[in-house]
Structure 1
Amino acid sequence: MERDAHARLIARLLALRWLPREDAEARRLLVDLSFREEVESRLAACGLRLLDHPFADHIAVALAQSTESAVFETGGQWAATTIALPKDAIALLVILWALIILPKRERQLARANGEEGQMDMFGGVPGQLTADASRGIPENVLLEDYARLLGGRARITQFILPQLSRLGFIERRNKVIYEGPLLDLAFDYGEMAPRILQGALADLLRKQDEPRNTEGDAS
């Protein structure tokens, strides 16, 4: 039965698409080096890799870089995803990642620096850090800031947000958008954060901090 533990975990990840870190088998993956190495070896043999971040609440699997071209390159063109997301949905996904995950990660990293030495060997972190809940984005604020750039309010609320929710990237509760199980794993933080913070999207994000009405209060 022990030999089947690796296959069982991989099968669950492929079928369920993600597992919470608190899951017993996922937790073993994070603390048992030999078990993790075997799982990663089997995934690599199939052209896959483990998606795991010490501060993320879930783990998942994705294509290995060496197999991306075999999947995404078709007919001389490079597909954006394998889940039929249109360009405006991908753009909104990046924006939501920047608005929800980036601030949470900055808080986690700041707190981790203050608790250095409490990390586990294999990427585990103190529970209060991984449990740092992300802050939701009110849908009306998102629409006010980005609807004009992404096809209008109706397209975002009736098509894009429901699609991102079904795929597990976000959760919508009482007109507020929260991170779903896959949002924290959707992009590589080390690669994406500098591009966003130093790139063109930074100008859009800075508008979040600007007063929405700079005129006087006269009525």
Structure 2
Amino acid sequence: MNIEITELTARLLAHRWLPRADTQVRRALVDEAFRLELETNLAAVGLQLLDNPFAEHVAVGLKDEVMDAVFGGRDYQASTMGLTRDEIALLIVIWALIILPKRERQLGRRQLGDDGQNDMFGQEKPIEHGDTVSGAISEASLLADFGAQLGGRTKIRNFALGKLARLGFIVRSNGYLHEGPLLDVLLDYRVLADRIINGTLADVLAAAGRALPAGMGEDEEELFDELDDEVEARR
């Protein structure tokens, strides 16, 4: 067996996620034979590689066919990483405030603070990841805007945010919340974006003075369709 495949499989199982910039991860993303062998290794233990071209990390998750065997007969929290309903609602709000604006910048090939008007060749740039496109939100502002609806400020500050940070969804630093390695990988943008932008949460965010970008455009649909085709071809 390829020693690199063994090492990468072990590292993914041990860490749960790895950055796209990692040498072995980069190879898995561009070398079809290498990735197929990696996915075969993961599938042997009921796992799959989670790869979103807009995310800075890749991760591993359960395959659909073993979900019932792992979570069947367990309570609600067993299949939600131990998160309560209030904590999941908080996670969705954070996701909307960080990932939706980030995706708009990525598709516009813009960085933070860049309106794109002075870049004639912006669309020819590769999609960027990390701090250049992923903004932070103020913890105090989040608590002020949504604390009452999501279980109370004390509960959110002392328990919920800490749990989301331990799970890898967010990073807390100097009073700000930043994107964690799993925020843009485990939450399905194709499912959530339209429901948030055109749903009740959009009204809640608007009432708090939080603007949301438009829905998924053709460019984004094409990128996700290409990824879906690649995944299907490997099966």
Which residue is equivalent to 1:102? 100
| Distance in structure 1 (CA, Å) of the matches to 2:97 and 2:179 | 10
Query: How far 1:78 moved relative to its partner?
Result: 4.8
Contact 1:54 1:130 in 2 (8 A): no
Letter in 2 for 1:199: G
Letter in 2 for 1:19: L
Are residue 155 (structure 1) and residue 155 (structure 2) matched? yes
Which residue is equivalent to 1:62? 61
Which residue is equivalent to 1:121? none
Paired residues for 1:85-164 under 5 Å? 85-111=83-109, 115=123, 126=126, 129-131=128-130, 132-164=132-164
**Secondary structure of the structure 2 residue equivalent to 1:115:** helix
- The CA deviation string for residues 87-129 of structure 1, in whole angstroms up to 9 with x for no partner, is 211111111111101110121122299535x6xxxxxxx2x62
- The CA deviation string for residues 41-70 of structure 1, in whole angstroms up to 9 with x for no partner, is 222232211111112111110111122122
**Secondary structure of the structure 1 residue equivalent to 2:58:** strand
Query: How far 1:188 moved relative to its partner?
Result: 1.1
| Distance in structure 1 (CA, Å) of the matches to 2:77 and 2:156 | 22
Query: How far 1:79 moved relative to its partner?
Result: 4.3
* RMSD of equivalent CA atoms: 2.2
| Distance in structure 1 (CA, Å) of the matches to 2:122 and 2:104 | 13
| Distance in structure 1 (CA, Å) of the matches to 2:165 and 2:77 | 21
Paired residues for 1:18-37 under 5 Å? 18-37=17-36
Which residue is equivalent to 1:11? 10
Query: How far 1:7 moved relative to its partner?
Result: 2.0
Gaps of 5+ in 1: 119-125, 212-219
Contact 1:13 1:19 in 2 (8 A): yes
Query: How far 1:72 moved relative to its partner?
Result: 2.0
Structure 2 CA distance for partners of 1:4 and 1:91, relative to 1, 3 Å? same
TM-score by length of 2: 0.78
**Secondary structure of the structure 1 residue equivalent to 2:48:** strand
| Distance in structure 1 (CA, Å) of the matches to 2:195 and 2:43 | 28
| Distance in structure 1 (CA, Å) of the matches to 2:82 and 2:76 | 13
Structure 2 CA distance for partners of 1:203 and 1:80, relative to 1, 3 Å? farther
Contact 1:150 1:156 in 2 (8 A): yes
Letter in 1 for 2:200: A
Letter in 2 for 1:100: I
TM-score by length of 1: 0.83
Letter in 2 for 1:38: E
